[in-house]
Chains A and B, each alone.
Chain A
Amino acid sequence: MAMTLSDLWVMTQAASLSLLLALASIALGTALALLLTPLAFAPWAIARMLYRLFIFVVRGTPVLLLALLIFYALAAFWGRISPYTAGVIVLTLYLAALFAEVFRGGVLAIPRPLWDCCKSLGLPRLSILRRVVGPLVARYTLPPYLNVCVMAVKASSVLSIISVWELTLASREIIERTLDVYRVLAVAAILYFLMCFAIDRLGRRLEIRLAARGFAGERL
């Protein structure tokens, strides 16, 4: 049995849900990462250690295991929880760890003399961050940031296993109903490809534009 047009429609809806899940966790993950990154540069050793531990644990375990852990643990503490909530929480934690490392790399790319220059000019700390370091870090980190965004779209597919209905679960359902494996997976691949490739291209274009203006790392 071949897949029908209505199956195609269902899949595009599922794809938009995948994108929505990814975007929501990108937004929340970025916010959390902005809180985490300063910890990596905190004067207290314990804060830096906690940061490193968080990154190691979140990056060292598979997203699927994190998802199962959080899904079951939240269910145990708060009773039944929607897989969507659990899914967004998992993706947020995962992306926060990746984003925080991206931002940390960006801050490390700022040469020390620049900090000293700002200080010798008498700029207050907040202005240094807002007017000098912030914009530079944003430029440095944009390409890897968008790279992680691509990973967010792909990681959302893992949530299908904790019964979040998105593109991968929808595809699997249609495959199990129609056995039209190749066509369904081809459509799913095209939909994922469009979402990821768009982000990737956007990243390349921005990278080229920012480099042309003299913001490539080595030129500073």
Chain B
Amino acid sequence: MGQYRAWLEAYGTAYLEAAAWTLSLAVLSFIAALIWGAVLFFLRLSGGTWVARSVDAYVQVLRNTPVLLPIYLIYFGFPLLGVLWPAAVCGGVALVLQNGAYICEIFRGGYKAIEWVQHDAAKSLGLLPWTHFRKVTLPQILVHSIPALGNQAVLLLKDTSLLSAITVIELTMQSKVLTERTGTAYAPFLVAAVFYLAMVWALEVLTQLALRSVRWR
């Protein structure tokens, strides 16, 4: 038991710090991705044919390539343009670009699940298109999207581990550093896994709570 305590005392703060990085990267990126996904969705919905097609192309490309590519694109590519961002920002922006594409698709799925007769109903009630969208359509899209958004948040949280490839000291990087520094084979990774599982579990609980708060469906 004593050696565990010594280990905890020596590396506990390092882990907490790394976990805080992982969590704040995930939370900030997710909020930004929600906004970016909503922007893409509105462009897809109300833009002209060419706008809709460009959004589709963007979504398809980012959905069908691994996240590491946009991460490398920004981390290695932007300095060539004279844009020097810290690695964490580069990685965060890459995560936002990719997850925005997924979230756009989630919103689109939620939109498609709405019955078309509602448009006729709204028209016969004399609702303006914008009022109809804001008061009737949008809440339904959001509610339909909750489970998928929760899922996406988990995926994003896990994808922050990839930022270790561009020197961001988050949980995965920290445990790799500790493995190499302490010479322990794999224990640091197990500790990191516990942190990730706790966060994923919390996200699942949050998703359930969000779903339960809108039982009117």
Residues of A whose CB lies within 8 Å of any CB of B are: 56-57, 59-65, 68-69, 72-73, 75-76, 150, 153-158, 160-161, 168, 171-172, 175, 179, 181-182, 185, 188-189, 192-193, 196-197, 200
Chain B, Cβ-Cβ closest to A200 = B64
A172-B72 CB under 8 A given contacts A56-B197, A62-B196, A64-B164: yes
A65 lies within 8 A of B72 (CB): no
B68→A158 contact, CB < 8 A: yes
Interface string of B124-167 (1 = CB under 8 A from A): 00000000000000000000000000000010001111101100
A200 to B65, CA, bound (A): 12
Chain B stretch 55-104: residues in CB contact (< 8 A) with chain A:
60-61, 63-69, 72-73, 76-77, 80
List chain B positions with a Cβ less than 8 A from chain A.
60-61, 63-69, 72-73, 76-77, 80, 154, 158-162, 164-165, 171-172, 175-176, 179, 185-186, 189-190, 192-193, 196-197, 200-201
27 contacts between A and B (CB under 8 A): A60-B154, A60-B196, A60-B201, A62-B159, A62-B160, A62-B162, A62-B172, A62-B196, A64-B162, A64-B164, A65-B172, A65-B175, A65-B192, A65-B196, A68-B176, A68-B189, A73-B186, A150-B64, A158-B66, A158-B68, A168-B68, A175-B76, A181-B73, A181-B80, A182-B77, A188-B65, A189-B69
Known contacts A57-B197, A72-B179, A189-B61, A181 near B66 by CB under 8 Å:
no
Q: A156-B66, A181-B76 are in contact. List 4 more A-B contacts (CB 8 A).
A: A60-B196, A65-B172, A68-B176, A161-B165
Alpha-carbon separation in the docked complex, A76 to B198 (Å): 26
A171 to B68, CA, bound (A): 11
**Chain A residues in 8 Å Cβ range of B186:** 69, 72-73, 76
- Rounded to whole angstroms, the CA-CA distance of A153 and B154 in the bound complex is 19
The smallest C-beta distance from B106 to any residue of chain A, in angstroms, reads: 14
Residue of B nearest to A160 (CB): B68
